[in-house]
Amino acid sequence: MNTVCFPRPLSPCSVVRRTVRVLVRVLPAFFILLVLVARPCMAEPTAERPNIVWLTTEDISPNLGCYGDDYALTPRIDTLASEGIRYTEALAVAGVCAISRTCLITGMYGTTLGSQDMRSEIRLPKRIPTFSQVLRESGYYCTNNSKTDYNFAPPRGAWDECSKKAHWRNRKPGQPFFAVFNYMGTHESQIWEENHRKHAATLGADELHDPDKAPVPPFHPDVPAVRRDWANYHDNISALDRWVGQRLAELEAAGVADDTIVFFYSDHGAGMPLCKKSLSNAGLRVPLIIRFPEEYRHLAPSRPGTTSDRLVSFVDFAPTVLSLAGVDIPGHMQGNAFLGSREAPPRRYAFATRDRMIEWYDTVRAVRDAKYHYQRNFMPHLSYAPFDSYVLKLPSAQALVRLHEEGKLDPIQDRCFHARPAEELYDLEADPHMVDNLAGRPEHADVLRRMRDELHDWQLRTRDLGLLGEYEMHRRARGRTPYDVGQSETLYPLERILPVAEMIGSRDPAQIPELVALLDDKEPAVRWWAAMGLTALGREASEAEPALRKCLADDSPLVRVAAAEGLYKLGRVDEALTTLTATLQDPTPFARLRALNVLYRMGDDARPALPALEKAAIDGICPAPFYSRMREYMIERLQP
């Protein structure tokens, strides 16, 4: 007889084991099917996330037809503006490229990262990625064609491709892209006649600008050399206009224009003397046009062809791109998104900085709101001139110098050759060229105080490393980054340094006892600013002569150099020369360049330093090349 066998009831543990074995066999096939079903959506992310293109040019203010410049010939850019949003108050964070590009790629101020000096070499902390790295991690294909100029080496992983061949075409099918194209034909150097010719050759006769019709700003003399440079500048912009048209045509031909948001902007203001490198309107205000295709029109602040007077800073660009891409904004970024899903309220203030410009040291800070521009010159005893050797290649700069020497400049044009006021305040609506300083007017006292306080708070909030000096910053950054130095109250007691730096502006002899006492402070940066405060007083600081002489033995070369200049102003030429020529052998180019700046200001009194200049050390990291350049023309200048 057959026996029917019933299976034994399984224990709970056996049930679990058998269920797991079944799932292991079945789930892979299930997930493969799921991926195949979902694949069409994954392959076309551009339907959900926009492509973004930056068309970046160099060294131009809003000298475009669409911005009301009647001298400009820019039909393609004007068309772009009619299809997009034209921003009227877009501002760089510096009047020069490297510091601006530091900010654009990181969403942080150069003064926070330690890259505030023109052409410096710093390290970016690994924990601070570029915004392009953040985009890549979210799935974007990111390219840069091709200028970087960040004041630091581009981090590994910043770009999928960074070269003159980098292009969004090289992405995977359906992959959203962020692409930067840099046009260098409008750079300051392209105004030089030998470079301008090749751009002019691409234009028709009716596109070339007549120098006799060139508008000349009030801070420039109206002479042929100036008019010619302004005409060359505008010719280069017309050549740029053709390039913009070509880049836009590429998007149309590839069928991706309807999926691509286009930014057009310049990296700072006009590449002309007293514009570039300055913190004036002409140095900071840039064109910004953003075109939104119909698919992403909901992300635009208004309809095509309109303008926005929203205050926008370069520090806002990185978070704005991330916001448009639907990507979270990292906490280290210091700007605010002005578009997209993470848009922030409009900013009230924008900030800008000026530190070492090529071979010349300076410290200037500015803040502006919708109406006023406030500027603090932390070294008011210095002038904006002499121009650096690069600017002096422009005939317009040469004309400025010659006319100054001949006494033929009016007070507005000549002011760049003289010491500056500690504070400047301008009504940008009434005075866009910034020629009428309101800082001393009683009726503007409240505005002056408000803007001064806002700048002070911003410097503390962002940990402005510019007040430490390039030498001290790099010395303290050994084994770490300048950013790390700035974030440490121990390494950088900014709350103690900033008030001393602000004292210089008053140039009040009553402060001499306090400044002398600060020369004994344990913090070298405090001693340095105190010594500069006495130097700014000139012969009025005669009672501080013993204290300044004592500083010639200070551990810090910055203090020694500042004290030497102070003694020079008191007539102690030999003592100043002894310290300054000794500093020319300092191991760092930062100290050597500071000494060279002072020797230049001494004029013919520096002639005894000629043998030391000829033997001076020339090695080191940037700014060593600029130090070498300055040393060469100093030797030529002092030759009998």
Over the stretch 135-150, which tens digit does the pLDDT of each residue have? 999 999 999 999 999 9
pLDDT digits (tens, 9 = 90+) for 624-637: 899 999 999 999 99
The answer, yes or no, to whether residue 561 has pLDDT greater than 60, is yes
Confidence of residue 30 (pLDDT cuts 50, 70, 90): very low
**Least trusted range by pLDDT, from 19-33, 472-486, 615-629:** 19-33
pLDDT tens digit sequence for 483-541: 999 999 999 999 999 999 999 988 899 999 999 999 999 999 999 999 999 999 999 99
Q: What digits encode the pLDDT tens for the residues 41-96?
A: 232 344 589 999 999 999 999 999 999 999 999 999 999 999 999 999 999 999 99
Does 6 score more than 60 pLDDT?
Answer: no
Q: Give the count of beta carbons closer than 10 Å to the beta carbon of residue 26.
A: 10
- Give residue limits of the domains in the chain: 15-45, 49-209+227-345, 466-638
Residue 21 above 80 pLDDT? Answer: no
Residue of 5, 66, 97, 416 with catalytic role: 97
> Would you list the DSSP string of 28-49?
HHHHHHHHHHHHHHHH-GGGTS
The answer to whether residue 28 scores a pLDDT higher than 60 is: no
Provide the percentage of residues in the chain whose pLDDT is more than 90: 90
Per-residue pLDDT, 35: 32
Q: Which two tokens stand for residue 315?
A: 């520090």
CA distance 340 to 334: 17
Residues facing 290 on adjacent strands: 85, 263
Residue 480 buriedness (CB in 10 A; 0-12 / 13-18 / 19+):
middle
pTM: 0.92
Q: Give me the pLDDT at residue 505, please.
A: 86
**H/E segment holding residue 350:** strand 350-354
Tell me the per-residue pLDDT of 250-285, one tens digit each, with 9 for 90 and over.
999 999 999 999 999 999 999 999 999 999 999 999
- Judge whether residue 356 has pLDDT over 50: yes
97 in active site:
yes
Q: Residue 39: what pLDDT?
A: 30
Confidence tier at 385 by pLDDT (50, 70, 90): confident
pLDDT in tens, 401-440: 999 999 999 999 999 999 999 999 999 999 999 999 999 9
Fold of the domain spanning 49-209+227-345: Alkaline Phosphatase, subunit A (3.40.720)
Confidence of residue 466 (pLDDT cuts 50, 70, 90): very high
Distance CA 562, CA 60 (A): 36
Rounded average pLDDT over 167-190 = 98
Given a cut of 60, is residue 603 above it in pLDDT?
Answer: yes
Q: Looking at domain 466-638, which CATH architecture does it have?
A: Alpha Horseshoe (1.25)
Paired tokens of 457: 């708070």
374: left (phi over 0), alpha (psi -120 to 50) or beta: beta
On whether the CB atoms of residues 286 and 92 are closer than 8 A, the answer is yes
576 φ, ψ to 5°? Answer: -65, -45
Cis? peptide before 189, omega within 30° of 0: no
d(CA 562, CA 206): 55
Q: What is the pLDDT of residue 27?
A: 39
pLDDT at 346: 98
SS (H, E, C) 68-104: CCCCCCCHHHHHHHHHCEEEEEEECCCCCHHHHHHHH
pLDDT at 475 over 80: yes
pLDDT in tens, 318-354: 999 999 999 999 999 999 999 999 999 999 999 999 9
Residue 199 clears pLDDT 70, i.e. is over it: yes
What is the mean pLDDT of the segment spanning 359-387?
96
Of residues 242 and 18, more confidence is placed in 242
The whole-chain average pLDDT of the chain stands at: 93
* Percentage of residues of the chain with pLDDT beyond 70: 93
CB-based contact 183:74 (threshold 8 Å) = no
pLDDT of residue 14: 38
What confidence score (pLDDT) does residue 617 get?
A: 87
